């Protein structure tokens, strides 16, 4: 049985590429992330196709707009059947609260399970220099925890954060809060454009509930072997 803590990122722009990787990974991976590159080129069909294969889907579109627009957008996306959706915590407490309330109300009205809703805190590509360039005075860690507390208070199920902040979020937001961490790199793997990273084992030890991993699997010579090695490392942390 696949380890649902691993979410493989499908940053492709054709359905053919998606099918090839998903078929290669087979039963080893049961949870996939669809982000803007794929969604903007293929649309909702990719989510429907993945769901028809029995896969869970994190639809990572990072909605960031005024409350009414974000809530409406989420309700439209709900039709696709994704397991998890997200918004930007930078949209503020009111936006997150309205989004969560409208999503739950819409799910109740339609009699369908409500997708998990999580908030992006500070992107894992942001380093200290980028952060200061934005005029931010809090430390990145403190800002991430602040966003996580706001997301929890607004009724969201969790956050996206780097594995470096996971321990502090877990301590602050409790055992059931979802902590979805991109920025995961096996020892020796290329860092690419990520900044705040950790290995799969370290991310889990820090309290991450899910690891989002893209290029270390997708760009590997043998994606199946890369995924298996990551899963083996994850298995050591339960």
Closest-CA residue to 206 (of 161, 170, 176): 170
Which of 61/237 has CB closer to ligand LLZGTKA7?
A: 61
Helix (H) or strand (E) holding 33: strand 31-34
Q: Please report, as residue ranges, which positions from 117 to 156 form the binding site for ligand LLZGTKA7 (by CB under 6 A).
A: 120, 123-124
Stretch 64-103: interaction string toward ligand LLZGTKA7, x if CB under 6 A: ----------------------------------------
CA angle in degrees (0–180, nearest 5) for 163-116-149: 55
Neighbour tally for 135: CB within 10 Å: 6
Nearest to 166 by CA among 116, 117, 124, 229: 124
| Alpha-helical regions (H) of 26-154 | 36-42, 45-52, 67-78, 93-110, 128-133, 140-153
Question: Whole-angstrom Cα distance, residue 73 to residue 103?
Answer: 10
Phi (first) and psi of residue 113, to 5 degrees: -65, 140
- Among residues 21 and 212, whose Cβ is nearest to ligand LLZGTKA7? 212
Contact 128, 140 (CB under 8 A): yes
Minimum distance, C-beta of residue 121 to ligand LLZGTKA7, in the bound complex (Å): 8
CB of 197 to ligand LLZGTKA7, least distance (A): 9
Q: Does residue 182 interact with ligand LLZGTKA7 by CB under 6 A?
A: yes
3-class DSSP assignment, residue 120: strand
Asked if 29 is part of the footprint of ligand LLZGTKA7 (rule: CB under 6 A), the reply reads: no
Q: Which helix (H) or strand (E) holds 20?
A: helix 15-25
Residue of this chain nearest to ligand LLZGTKA7 (CB atom): 214
Asked if 62 is an active-site residue, the reply is yes
Which of 17, 65, 130, 149 is flagged as catalytic? Answer: 65
Active site (annotated) includes residue 3 = no
Neighbours of 199 (CB within 10 A): 18
Residue 127 annotated as part of some ligand binding site: no
Which residues 186-215 are close enough to bind ligand LLZGTKA7 by CB under 6 A?
Answer: 192, 194, 212-215
Nearer to ligand LLZGTKA7, 39 or 99 (CB): 39
| Catalytic residue status for 20 | no
Interacting residue with ligand LLZGTKA7 among 6, 9, 21, 80 (CB under 6 A): 9
DSSP β-bridge partners for residue 156? none
Active-site entry in 55, 62, 116, 202:
62
Which residue positions form the known binding site?
A: 11, 33, 60-69, 124, 185, 194, 214-215
Give catalytic residue positions.
Answer: 60, 62, 65
Binding site for ligand LLZGTKA7 (CB under 6 A): 9, 11, 35, 120, 123-124, 160, 182-183, 192, 194, 212-216
């Amino acid at each position: 049985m696949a380890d649902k803590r691993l979410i493989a990122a499908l940053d492709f722009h054709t359905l053919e590429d998606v099918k090839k990787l998903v078929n290669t990974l087979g039963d080893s991976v049961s949870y996939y992330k669809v982000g803007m590159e794929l969604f903007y080129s293929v649309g909702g069909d990719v989510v429907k196709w993945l769901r028809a294969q029995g896969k869970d889907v994190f639809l990572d579109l990072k909605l960031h707009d005024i409350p009414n627009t974000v809530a409406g957008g989420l309700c439209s996306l709900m039709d696709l059947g994704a397991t998890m959706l997200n918004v930007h915590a930078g949209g503020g407490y009111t936006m997150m609260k309205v989004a969560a309330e409208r999503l739950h109300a819409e799910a109740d009205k339609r009699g369908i399970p409500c997708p998990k809703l999580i908030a992006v805190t500070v992107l894992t590509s942001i380093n200290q220099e980028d952060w200061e360039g934005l005029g931010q005075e809090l430390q990145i860690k403190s800002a991430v925890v602040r966003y996580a507390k706001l997301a929890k208070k607004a009724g969201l199920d969790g956050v996206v954060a780097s594995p470096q902040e996971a321990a502090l979020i877990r301590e602050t937001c409790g055992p059931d809060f979802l902590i979805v961490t991109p920025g995961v790199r096996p020892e020796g793997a290329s860092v690419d454009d990520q900044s705040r990273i950790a290995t799969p084992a370290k991310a889990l030890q820090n309290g991450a509930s899910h690891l989002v991993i893209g290029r270390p699997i997708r760009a590997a010579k043998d994606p199946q072997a890369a995924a298996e090695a990551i899963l083996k490392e994850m298995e050591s942390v339960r």
